[in-house]
Structure 1
């Protein structure tokens, strides 16, 4: 005789066993019990019974004693990029100083992977989450709101949540201006003498702002001759290598200047430069919107932008402490090195 399937536990079953109301059970499970002024012993009894009954689905957002787990969540694209690595380290140190245990997830830039990373953090009942490099900020914010989870976006903003980002437009304009000053004079009839921007995703808020800064400074200086000077080839190093190779072949030489949008793209640029005669590379002015101290060892003229990860994390915690909600946006100035 086949075994009888176990009935799915509901909040009504839990309410009956806990000698409480279904609404009280719901409040205990989603972390809103303090607003209803439920007794702590009642909440603990409900949570204990929910765990015993295997009711884990609604324990995602809250589920530990006093609705606090002591975990601080951070989602970021990767740890290889120095900016994100510094962001991660600063977050960990600040979280630990506040008595939290950092739970940091590397989620890449795929929408579904980032959403699943957030669901996983919710299952561990993190007390709050910072989200860096969000591909779908609105979807992530919606998931946080549904779980009543405090959240702040870093690096990529969200129109529906507190956000702390670099002042991408101003920094891009400053880097562009410096490169133009260091370059040989541009000739409108000679594309090989122009300054080009390479890298980044056209759908990325950071890239959009950097392109705006680049374009505005180029127009102000009279050196934006063609939209072909902006090559948004993504962040992948291999794609950056291929894009620079095509530009090199089309021009017959390296361009007069190259604004590289991110250290990941710059890695691809360096790979390509390894096969170019050193004398030719020295005729090009290079700039990178990111910072890595090892890049100073390269034998090419190079300027870099450092995003202040320490300040961004500090400001994100201030937003969290203030209980900020809605689409507030704070932009942090960068350093031009």
Structure 2
């Protein structure tokens, strides 16, 4: 690391090598270790590791900066996703209303890239950081605390700062109830049960939706087994393969299908588009995300629209109020019926 052709070493890398926390490493490299009561031997060890690996303690720990840069940052997993692109658009509008210049970067759900981007934003002395959909919010929060950078979490919660998220449980329960209400009751046994596809049970939002799906089935008196949840992750390719396997095993589409988010839905659609129209006669499909182009598909889709504008507006209210406590605010999503489009706040722009 730190040499040509290799990734630049980060504070997180030094923490892993030294066995110290990222905040301890940051203090040792910023001459702040005595105030933190860090032992001289520990500080020397960290500096030695940093030097051996080519780390340059440039602007990383500007936690003591006094001047405002006028920059506010947002990191998110992807740009090519209507939910996250809507978050980004709302973030830019709210930031500019307050005189900030927004800086937005995608991480591709790569934990190492998340750390690198946050360190880079810290080096540019951003005044505030919004962390959306992070895979490892604890690590990013530790970096922000070490740099004394005010931050909050959107979409997925963190432990050390305010969080604004969708009410994933209630939204998933509503969507599941709608799927159940439309399912036929006289199908053969193999296809009569609803299935959930996409997401990971280790992620907060997906875990809430999976739990709501199972508990809603049980509350309706419908037998539920863990095999009805297929945690295929977030890639379209993974969802496409899993829905093909499921349809082959069942002999067709299940009576009900709950797709966890828009990217897995893209994969599901890539398979379903190859099916004849009669394949959808006995199935009800729902997606916990929204895209207006779904209204033009050959089959109806119930979509749960996350209110990205309210998520960002609520987050900026916390910024305006100077809230630093690790509170959790939940914003209700909205069920969009099939063949319906929703008028976005920025639909007149472009």
TM-score class normalised by the smaller sequence = 0.7 to 0.9
Secondary structure of 2:238's aligned partner:
helix
Secondary structure of 1:153's aligned partner:
strand
Aligned to 1:131: 131
**1:327 to partner: Cα distance:** 2.1
Q: Is the Cα–Cα contact under 8 Å of residues 61 and 147 in structure 2 kept in the other structure?
A: no
Aligned to 2:306: 307
Aligned to 1:57: 59
Q: Is the Cα–Cα contact under 8 Å of residues 61 and 126 in structure 1 kept in the other structure?
A: no
Change beyond 3 A, Cα 1:123–1:269: same
Secondary structure of 1:69's aligned partner:
coil
Q: 1:191-217: CA deviations, max 9, x gaps?
A: 311110100011110001111111111
Task: Measure the CA separation in 2 of the matches of 1:55 and 1:311.
Answer: 39
**1:225 to partner: Cα distance:** 3.0
Secondary structure of 1:67's aligned partner:
coil
Aligned to 1:216: 215
Deviates more, 1:83-92 or 1:220-229: 220-229
Q: Is the Cα–Cα contact under 8 Å of residues 159 and 326 in structure 1 kept in the other structure?
A: no
Two-structure CA RMSD over aligned residues (Å) = 1.9
**1:113 to partner: Cα distance:** 0.8
Find out whether 1:68 has 2:91 as its counterpart. no
Aligned to 1:41: none
**1:281 to partner: Cα distance:** 2.3
So what's the TM-score if we normalise by structure 2?
A: 0.78
Change beyond 3 A, Cα 1:106–1:176: same
Aligned to 1:97: 97
Find out whether 1:281 has 2:280 as its counterpart. yes
Change beyond 3 A, Cα 1:145–1:255: same
Aligned to 1:174: 174
Change beyond 3 A, Cα 1:325–1:59: closer
Equivalenced residue count is 284
Q: 1:85-141: CA deviations, max 9, x gaps?
A: 000000001111110110001111111111111001111110000000011111111
Aligned to 1:81: 81
Aligned to 2:183: 183
Find out whether 1:290 has 2:289 as its counterpart. yes
Aligned to 2:156: 156
Task: Measure the CA separation in 1 of the matches of 2:93 and 2:238.
Answer: 34
Task: Measure the CA separation in 1 of the matches of 2:219 and 2:184.
Answer: 18
**1:282 to partner: Cα distance:** 3.3
So what's the TM-score if we normalise by structure 1?
A: 0.81
**1:78 to partner: Cα distance:** 0.5
Task: Measure the CA separation in 2 of the matches of 1:110 and 1:186.
Answer: 45
Q: Is the Cα–Cα contact under 8 Å of residues 198 and 260 in structure 1 kept in the other structure?
A: yes
Secondary structure of 2:157's aligned partner:
coil
Q: Is the Cα–Cα contact under 8 Å of residues 282 and 301 in structure 1 kept in the other structure?
A: no
1:197-276 matches, within 5 Å, as 197-276=196-275
TM superposition outliers: structure 1 runs of 4+ over 4 Å: none
Change beyond 3 A, Cα 1:155–1:226: same
Change beyond 3 A, Cα 1:207–1:167: same
Give unpaired runs (5+ residues) of structure 1: 1-25, 31-53
Aligned to 1:108: 108
Task: Measure the CA separation in 2 of the matches of 1:253 and 1:307.
Answer: 30
Q: Is the Cα–Cα contact under 8 Å of residues 153 and 162 in structure 2 kept in the other structure?
A: yes
